[in-house]
C-alpha cells in the first residue's frame, strides 16, 4: 500500500463515521490502521497542517471525535507516540506546532464562542478545544528526555491560541497553561502577559486567567 493510500485510510478511520454510531472510539473491536511511529507523526502533522484541503469537509461531530481520538490517551496511544516515540524530537515538535494551524483554521472558525468552564453550550469541537490539554499526556512530560522541547512547543500552541478571536480558543490556551504551571516555568508569565493586554476586556476570561496563572483551573 502506498503512503498516500495509508494516509487516506487513516483519515477515513478517524473521521468517516456516522453520528448514529454514537461513541465509536471505545468500540472494543475497533481495528486501528497499522502504522509505524514515523507514519503516525507524518500523517497527524499533515492532517493538521492541511485541515482545509484534507478534512474540512467533515462535520463538527466527526472532526471532534476524530481529533480527540488522536490526542486523548483514553482513546488511543497516538499521543504517547508523539510524546515518547523513538523518533527525533524535531518531528515530535513539528506535530505539536501543527496544532496552531488547526486552532486557527478550524477551532477558531467552527467552535461556538462559549466557555467550557462555565458549562456553556457548544458543539463537539468545543469539547475537544476545551478538554484537549486535560486529556493529552503532552502536558505531563516529566519522565521524557524531550520534556523541555515538548513543553516549549505545547506552550507555544497555547500562547498562540490566546491571540485568536474565539473565546473558546482563548479559554483553551489559558486552561492548558494552568495545567503547565507546575512543570513549565514560563507558563505563568505567558498568562500574566495576556492579562496585561489592554485589549482584554472579557471579565470572565480575566478571572479565569488569574486562576490559570496560579495553576488553579478546571
202 pLDDT exceeds 90? no
Mean pLDDT computed over 25-35 = 85
Mean pLDDT computed over 166-183 = 96
Specify the pLDDT at position 217: 85
In which region does residue 51 sit, left (phi positive, over 0), alpha (psi from -120 to 50) or beta (all else)?
alpha
* Mean pLDDT over each residue of the chain, to the nearest integer: 94
Specify the pLDDT at position 70: 97
pTM for this entry: 0.95
Burial 185-199 (b: 16+ CB within 10 A, else e): eebbebbeebeeeee
Dihedral of CA 66/68/73/74: which sign?
negative
Q: Contact at 8 Å (CB) between 160 and 190? A: no
Burial 62-87 (b: 16+ CB within 10 A, else e): bbbbbbbbbbbeebbebbebbbbbeb
198 pLDDT exceeds 80? no
Mean pLDDT computed over 128-157 = 95
43 pLDDT exceeds 90? yes
Q: Pick from 53, 31, 42: which is nearest to 4 by CA?
A: 42
Dihedral of CA 98/100/103/109: which sign?
negative
Rounded to the nearest 10 degrees, the angle between the axes of helix 60-71 and helix 3-15 is 110
Specify the pLDDT at position 88: 95
Q: Which residue has the higher pLDDT, 199 or 117?
A: 117
pLDDT band at residue 22, thresholds of 50, 70 and 90? confident
Q: Contact at 8 Å (CB) between 187 and 214? A: no
Q: Contact at 8 Å (CB) between 191 and 212? A: yes
Q: What is the pLDDT of residues 58-103, one digit of tens each?
A: 999 999 999 999 999 999 999 999 999 999 999 999 999 999 999 9
pLDDT band at residue 30, thresholds of 50, 70 and 90? confident
27 pLDDT exceeds 90? no
Look up residue 114 and give its three cell numbers.
462559549
218 pLDDT exceeds 80? no
Specify the pLDDT at position 26: 82
Query: Quick one: which H or E segment has residue 9?
Result: helix 3-15
Amino acid at each position: 500500500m502506498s503512503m498516500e493510500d495509508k494516509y487516506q485510510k487513516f483519515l477515513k478511520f478517524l473521521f468517516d463515521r456516522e453520528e448514529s454510531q454514537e461513541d465509536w472510539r471505545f468500540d472494543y473491536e475497533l481495528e486501528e490502521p497499522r502504522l509505524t511511529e514515523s507514519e503516525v507523526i507524518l500523517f497527524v502533522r499533515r492532517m493538521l497542517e492541511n485541515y482545509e484541503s484534507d478534512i474540512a469537509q467533515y462535520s463538527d461531530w466527526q472532526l471532534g471525535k476524530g481529533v480527540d481520538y488522536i490526542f486523548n490517551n483514553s482513546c488511543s496511544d497516538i499521543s504517547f507516540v508523539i510524546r515518547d516515540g523513538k523518533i527525533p524530537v524535531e518531528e515530535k515538535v513539528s506535530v505539536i506546532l501543527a496544532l496552531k494551524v488547526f486552532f486557527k483554521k478550524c477551532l477558531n472558525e467552527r467552535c461556538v464562542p462559549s466557555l467550557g468552564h462555565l458549562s456553556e453550550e457548544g458543539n463537539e469541537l468545543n469539547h475537544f478545544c476545551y478538554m484537549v490539554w486535560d486529556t493529552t499526556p503532552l502536558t505531563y512530560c516529566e519522565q521524557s528526555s524531550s520534556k523541555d522541547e515538548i513543553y516549549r512547543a505545547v506552550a507555544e500552541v497555547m500562547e498562540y491560541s490566546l491571540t485568536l478571536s474565539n473565546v473558546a480558543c482563548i479559554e483553551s490556551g489559558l486552561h492548558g497553561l494552568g495545567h503547565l504551571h507546575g512543570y513549565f516555568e514560563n507558563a505563568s508569565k505567558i498568562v500574566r502577559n495576556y492579562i496585561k493586554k489592554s485589549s482584554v476586556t472579557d471579565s470572565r476570561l480575566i478571572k479565569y486567567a488569574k486562576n490559570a496563572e496560579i495553576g488553579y483551573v478546571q
